[in-house]
Amino acid sequence: MGIGYILIGVGHFLLGMRDILNDFTSIVIGNPMIILGVILVYRGLFRFIGIVPKLETRLIFLFIPLLAGLLYYYKFQVPDINARMILFSLTYSTLCFIPAFGLWKHKKEYFNVQINLLITMYLAMGFFHGFRLIRTTREDQLLNFMDAGSIHAIAVIASEILVIMTSFMTIWIGTDKLQRKLSIMARTDPLTQLYNRRTFEEECDIEFSRARRKKSPFSIIICDLDLFKNINDQYGHQVGDEVLKIFSDTLRNHVRKHDVVARYGGEEFVILLPETDSKSATVVAEYIRQKTLSATVRDPDGSTGVSFSASFGVSSYYHDDDWMAVLKRADKALYSAKENGRNRVVAS
């Protein structure tokens, strides 16, 4: 995008210096330079948003040598100012409709406001240059470009509007990206990419209010890796971190999309199961327990598979005064599971 902005600026500079520079430099080089700048700006914008242009990639760069050749022809072989303006307007208009269509076709879940504004801008630019093209075809033959009229002067300003708008949208999108990234960082555990304790507690507040209002159940599973300290001591913290990651994946992959899985602290994890009674939650916990037994992590030299297990405590909402009462019962059930040999599920 930066290179594109520079090319647009240099191209307009060359056009403005036509009384000093030769016509080849100002016309045959200056105009294609502006077009190339427009291409690079919108392609850079696409990449920044996360859109990868495909078919138009090869077609677009054909415009540059073709435009330069035709501009040379209508300047030095068959001099025609109107034909050159029609050519430039046709090319510019096409290059505005292409990104408008690309943005509409590849709309992202995020940045809807920004993308809609960009589509509107590119469409407006495209229709303006289309209008300029039609207007030029109906005008008398020009002898001097500087006498072309106000609409052609506005065409120069239009390019500057494109630069300003795309720059503004890039800053806006970049700010939203940063805010979303910071939000994710604030809500998730960096090692496991699960929700953190604060987020889990916020979700529990929401679910508790909903359950009281609708008189529906919800359950909490609290689980703890068995003898995790021994794994760290015997194999090192790197293996311990891998165990935490794999166990997190096991939890994440064996619950529903609307269930909330979080790392509550150290090797302790919690699962919030909306619309789930104790019996169903116990089934989920037992299934995860069995899946955990089949998971292994390689030790540092890769020779041995390190296996591990987990204990689970389950409790459900029974018209409690707050959700913490449910968590406390689940925690007591977890303590009971560990006291009775670990690697088991206990419901309270």
Catalytic residues: 267
Q: H helices of the chain, where?
A: 2-16, 23, 30-49, 55-60, 63-72, 81-105, 112-138, 150-187, 197-214, 228-235, 237-253, 278-293, 323-339
User: CA-CA-CA-CA torsion for 139, 142, 144, 150, nearest 10 degrees?
Assistant: 0
Identify the sign of the CA torsion 137, 142, 146, 147.
negative
| 111 conformational bin, left if phi > 0, alpha if psi -120 to 50, beta if neither | left
Pairing assessment for the beta strands 305-307 and 296-298 based on DSSP bridges: antiparallel
Pairing assessment for the beta strands 218-225 and 310-316 based on DSSP bridges: antiparallel
CB-hemisphere CA count at 13 Å for 49?
A: 30
Tokens of 180: 């979303």
